[in-house]
Amino acid sequence: MGINTLDRAPTPEEFQQIYFEEGGQVVVDLGQVEEMKFDLIPKGIYRAVLDEVNYGLSKDKGDGAQRYGRFEFIFQLTEAPYERRKLYFYASFSPKTLSGTQTALLRIAPDVFDKKFNPQEVADSGALLGKPVRVKVDHEAYQGVQRAKISYILEAAGETGEDSGGRGGSFFS
């Protein structure tokens, strides 16, 4: 069994066996380190916080189609056993997606997105970082592999004002 650096940092002795100098050159031997393995996050609703916000243009697919602005949100789950896991969510300003984008943005920060705003300034300000939400996680096939994806952003508190927490308990489940 190797060293799992997600569970604990290597001891100084272990680290010296992994990262060391040999003849004036840095040598790295990762043979003792466990490979990072992530179980697929089960479908459900999870508490999360907004960890990073970026604003830019959608990817150029090379088809000459217009590129639209979009937010890239990186959410960090906060519940065991998936705490610290990060999931991406894109909110595009494409004409086809504006209603869904509005819904997601108002659930993240209604005080910011209920009026005119400059997306780049919002992303750069850091004002959204740490905002709590709940995310609906579904699965999708990507390059032949199943992966977790955020399908909906939900308010941090349930409809009754109480935090419903964990998985299930919603018609989105």
Each residue's pLDDT tens digit in the chain (173 positions)? 677 776 788 888 888 888 888 888 898 888 888 887 768 999 999 999 999 999 999 887 778 888 999 999 999 999 999 998 999 999 999 999 999 999 999 999 999 999 999 999 999 999 999 999 999 999 999 898 899 999 999 999 754 444 444 444 333 43
CB 138 within 8 A of CB 151: yes
CATH assignment of the domain containing 115: 2.40.50
Would you say residue 166 lies in a domain? no
Could you tell me if 31 and 72 lie in one domain?
no
Structural domain harbouring 16 = 1-35
Could you tell me if 11 and 51 lie in one domain?
no
Q: In 89-146, where does DSSP find H-type helix?
A: 98-108, 110-113, 119-125
pLDDT of residue 7: 73
- Give the CA distances from residue 163 to residues 80, 86, 158, in Å, rounded to whole numbers and listed in that order: 16, 21, 5
Would you say residue 117 lies in a domain? yes
Backbone dihedral angles phi then psi of residue 121, each to the nearest 5 degrees: -65, -40
Could you tell me if 59 and 112 lie in one domain?
yes
* Cβ count near 139 (within 10 Å): 14
Predicted TM-score (pTM) above 0.75? no
Could you tell me if 48 and 130 lie in one domain?
yes
Could you tell me if 93 and 10 lie in one domain?
no
Could you tell me if 51 and 95 lie in one domain?
yes
pLDDT of residue 32: 83
Could you tell me if 62 and 139 lie in one domain?
yes
pLDDT of residue 172: 40
